[in-house]
Amino acid sequence: MTVTIVGSQLGDEGKGGVVDLYGDAADVVARYQGGDNAGHTVVHDGETYKLSLVPSGAVRGKVGVLGNGCVVNPRTLFDEIETLREKGLDPDVRVAERAHVILPFHRVLDGIEEDVKSESDQEVGTTGRGIGPTYEDKAGRRGVRIRDLLDPDVLRDRLEYVVPQKRALVEDVYGVDVSDLEDPEAFDVDALHEEFGEFGRRLAEEDMTVNASAFLSDAIDDGRNVMLEGAQGTIIDIDHGNYPYVTSSNPTAGGAAVGTGLSPGVVGDGEIVGIVKAYLSRVGSGPLPTELGGVPGDTPGYDEEGDGPEEEIATYIRDEGGEYGTVTGRPRRVGWLDMPMLRHSTRVNGFTGLAINHVDVLSGLDEVKVGYAYELDGEELETMPSTTEEWGRCEAKLRTFDGWPDVDWSEVAEEGYEAIPENARTYLEYVSDELDVPIYAVGVGPGREETVVLEDPY
């Protein structure tokens, strides 16, 4: 059977940890979308693993598959495999022949487009990994797929078609001289052919490429358990998220079928676990009705750091939850849990269970609030409107819960659900009742043993 792990909010809900928790019973862990824009954390035996591309199951020796819906930067792939090997692991990673390749010019274009957009305050705040430009080329039928890397003639044909277009775009539309770029070889067909042809030889030598659909279907037919690991989250899904402040793929459950070649029936017969952070965090721009305080540069209309009680709570949550960019150290935007967002997410994904993480982070606050509805133009909304402009005008209506104390969370995890402070249980049960989805797990700390497990989906 399959268990699909989906981010219910804006990414960084703790998906990696849940994949690690439930992945033990899985034989194969496959990612179905996104690329090295993800950052999934697995804490195991005191060691912290940060994975951006390799499926999180690799930490426990599961076969990892990058499905056809992924965009793969081979530089990152081999670097990450190397880093895991240095830590004493032996990751077994397979890559779909149909997955698309992120080429160096995609990253350059990602950066240029963000710069241009920022002149009119329209930047998305992307991870700069070239994700959007690669999916654009996929949809534009000019992309390079993983299988193309293994055939030097095909690779040359593809590059000879696409590279001059990209060079013209950079030089003629954006007015950037390619020779001034940090990596001018990003636009050089011969250099790309040599480097990426070499990646192709390596993929073939190490027998890493697969027909993902056949590989995963065979595993299911053999009675093996497959975990489908979503990256990002529902509200940054290109179709169901907060367009244009989104990533360029479908993190939602439907993407798990399209992005692996398993049929919707197979995915739907399995379990779909929604990963919920007990508050919100957001990287990048776009509205956030339950936001606490703000982050200059990211929060719309918020140009200078403020102070006041909201700002104090925001800093508390940020510090307790470690909500600072792993690379830049920049504070992330934070807010109260948003129920209209979660209702939308539950409908789109069809969650069969919830894992609610970071309950420990909120401990110590006198009060914990939840946005239970929005008010827009005098009307009360239970779920999110479809446009960013309307969402930006929504006022969150807040419900207040009594806070819960900081306790020994490892002990709580050991003792089970009843050991969670009563006020926290009231909060959790409110969320589960409102969404009509049972709670499968409660995260009370970053480690696997800091999780209260109520249900194992396998």
Site for ligand IMO, rule CB under 6 A: 7, 11-12, 37-40, 124-127, 129, 131-132, 231-233, 236, 245, 247-248, 283-284
Q: How far is the CB of 230 from Mg ion (least distance, A)?
A: 11
Query: For residue 368, what are the contacts with CB-CB under 8 A and spacing of at least 6?
Result: 336, 362, 400, 401, 402, 403, 404, 427
Beta strands in 53-173 (DSSP E): 63-66, 71-72, 92-96, 100-101
Q: What is the dihedral of CA 49, 71, 321, 346, to 10 degrees?
A: -120
- Side-chain-side CA neighbours of residue 311 (13 Å): 9
**Three-state SS for 276?**
strand
Q: Is 12 a catalytic residue?
A: yes
| Shorter beta-carbon distance to ligand IMO: residue 249 or 451 | 249
DSSP collapsed to 3 states, 5-52: EEECCCCCCCHHHHHHHHHCCCCEEEECCECCCCCEEEEECCEEEEEC
User: Distances in Å between the alpha carbon of 415 and those of 21, 362, 450, 451?
Assistant: 17, 20, 11, 11
Catalytic residue chosen out of the listed positions 20, 24, 36, 40? 40
* 303 contacts 48 by C-beta, under 8 angstroms: no
Written as six digits, the tokens of 146 are 């993983």
Per-residue binding letters, 13-32, with ligand GDP (x by CB under 6 A): xxxxx---------------
Residue 17 binding result from ligand IMO, ligand GDP, Mg ion, none, given CB thresholds of 5 to 8 Å by partner type: ligand GDP
* Residue 444 is a binding residue for ligand GDP (CB under 6 A): yes
| Shorter beta-carbon distance to Mg ion: residue 67 or 251 | 251
Q: Is 40 a catalytic residue?
A: yes
Residue 394 binding result from ligand IMO, Mg ion, ligand GDP, none, given CB thresholds of 5 to 8 Å by partner type: none
The span from the CA of 258 to the CA of 183, in Å, is 34
Residue 125 binding result from ligand GDP, Mg ion, ligand IMO, none, given CB thresholds of 5 to 8 Å by partner type: ligand IMO
Q: How far is the CB of 80 from ligand GDP (least distance, A)?
A: 15
Per-residue binding letters, 313-332, with ligand GDP (x by CB under 6 A): ---------x----------
**Which one of residues 100, 446, 448, 457 is an interface residue with ligand GDP (CB under 6 A)?**
446
Q: Which of 250, 338, 219 is nearest to 288 (CA)?
A: 338
- Side-chain-side CA neighbours of residue 58 (13 Å): 30
**401 - beta bridge partners?**
368
**Which one of residues 57, 143, 270, 445 is an interface residue with ligand GDP (CB under 6 A)?**
445
Q: How far is the CB of 355 from ligand GDP (least distance, A)?
A: 9
> Using CB under 6 A, which residues numbered 25 to 64 contact ligand GDP?
39-41, 43
Chain residues binding ligand GDP by CB under 6 A are: 7, 11-17, 39-41, 43, 322, 357-358, 360-361, 443-446
Enumerate the active-site residues.
12, 40
